[in-house]
């Protein structure tokens, strides 16, 4: 049987991304009472999806900003280009996690 957790059945079927999962883990560890409140209100999945969406959007904006300040190296070396992009992406992810994911809602 399909269980309905939130007020909107479509919300229950939406997949949860990386940042939503991290937020839920953070809430389970640091703020279990608030997480229980959200579950009881039928809003936990909505908040998880909102966190995930906000975090993904913020990460993409940060990556674009970093690429403007630190453009891709003008080289044919794909390893160097991949390393540069990896550094920018990991920096953006760290910022997103600290600003949006590890936060009480």
Q: What is the pLDDT of residues 43-88, one digit of tens each?
A: 999 999 999 999 999 999 999 999 999 999 999 999 999 999 999 9
Task: Kindly tell me the burial class for residue 89, based on how many C-beta atoms sit within 10 Å of its own C-beta (0-12, 13-18, 19 or more).
Answer: middle
CB atoms within 10 A of CB 48: 25
Q: What is the rounded distance in angstroms from the CA atom of residue 21 to the CA atom of residue 96?
A: 14
Quote the pLDDT of residue 4.
Answer: 55
Q: What is the rounded distance in angstroms from the CA atom of residue 13 to the CA atom of residue 7?
A: 12
pTM of the model: 0.85
The predicted-structure confidence for 88-98, as pLDDT tens digits, reads as follows 999 999 999 99
CA atoms within 13 Å, Cβ hemisphere of 7: 7
Contacts (Cβ under 8 Å, ≥6 apart) of 44: 5, 6, 24, 35, 38
């Amino acid at each position: 049987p399909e269980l309905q957790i939130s007020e909107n059945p479509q919300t229950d079927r939406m997949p949860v991304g990386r940042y939503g999962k991290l937020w839920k883990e953070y809430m389970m560890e640091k703020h279990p009472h608030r997480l229980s409140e959200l579950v009881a209100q039928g809003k936990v999945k909505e908040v998880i999806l909102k966190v995930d969406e906000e975090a993904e959007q913020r990460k993409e904006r940060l990556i674009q900003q970093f690429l403007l300040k630190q453009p891709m190296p003008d080289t044919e070396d794909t390893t160097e280009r991949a390393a540069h992009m990896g550094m920018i992406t990991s920096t953006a992810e760290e910022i997103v996690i600290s600003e949006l994911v590890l936060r009480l809602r």
